[in-house]
Amino acid sequence: MSHHLGIHDLSFATTEFVLPHTALADHNGTDIGKYHTGIGQESMSIPAADEDIVTMAATAAAPLIARHGSDRIRTVVFATESSIDQAKAAGVYVHSLLQLPSATRVVELKQACYGATAALQFALGLIRRDPTQHVLVIASDVSKYDADSPGEATQGAAAVAMLVTANPALLTIHDPSGLYTADVMDFWRPNYRDTALVDGQESINAYLQAVEGTWKDYTEQGGHTLDDFTAFCYHQPFTKMAYKAHRHLLNYNDRDTDHHTITQAIGPTTTYNNVIGNSYTASVYLGLAALLDHTPDLTNQPIGLFSYGSGSVAEFFAATPTPDYHNHLHTTTNQHTITRRTTIDYPTYLQLHENTLPTDGTHHTTPTQTTGPYRLAGINNHKRIYETR
């Protein structure tokens, strides 16, 4: 018996605080148009001192567990590029916070911003083997650059949680996938650095090259034609990149690239990213959440998803929303997740940005700042301590 496989439910979380780009522009004397129009960003999520990839991940996944239970989850795949440990998967902490069954495998995946798509494909493979199982896929990241660096305005933080199942209520994911890998140094973070190194222009070029490469492979594998797609979700390091990417894809296919055509195809996907900022692995799926929440009806309409991770690995694939998908969205909660953030000024942001946890293993208590359900309480003897509020 053949099953449809895909995303049964999708939920996201972001941080306690938000910094408007107007505050950043006031601080560094940049014309606000460079942020609002140039990169397409209005504000960015800033983690509280007691928030990290684990607290965001648990917050994102909790509504899925509340809605569907955890008895069929036998695998948790956590995708991140802001990992907190070189050995222990961040998902093990989440497994504990969510009180998931002990008969579960938990693993962490890494390849820059592409990791969550690898996690999704891993999940689909497991479910193809055993359609009775559910797989919890989580993408959680904090995008952080040096203060006053070119990347600073593209920071952000969020987690997306997806329950991947057979006969999904939200979206069916289709074969084939278009794949592309190239060894480029456009963005990377050596183990000895807290912030990434980035070559901005090289990264844009590498991204567009990957759009071309994945699309070429996708069509060679027998995928949909360009005209079959109603909308496209692109990885968004900043929202303007989605516009550049779609223009490039249209050009590559000798199509018209007028602004209206591009906005129609990708406009709704940028609404959350525009106010949250870059969330690395979560970004393309945050775009998917925004599309589903902001488009009247996408039933059975193919959506193209393009996932890019610097360095670089990319994938293009198609998904279609199910006839009943509207009844499974978290639209109101998603709006609240964004509006509940507390606006901070530049000095407060800088203090949070420069805040680092001790590396000497001494006892350290983090200030209680988050009003979310989970927090990083502190560190003791090199061990992170999480608590449920």
The residues annotated with a catalytic role in the active site are 81, 113, 235
SS3 assignment, position 94? helix
The number of residues making up the chain comes to 389
Dist. CA 95–CA 82, nearest whole Å: 18
Nearest to 183 by CA among 155, 196, 202, 162: 202
The residue to which tokens 């193809």 are assigned: 128
Contact predicate 91/76, CB 8 Å: yes
Closest CA to 81 of 117, 41, 122: 117
d(CA 358, CA 328): 42
CB of 328 closer than 8 Å to CB of 11 = no
C-alpha–C-alpha distance, residues 124 and 175, integer Å: 11
The neighbour count for residue 240, using CB atoms within 10 Å, is: 18
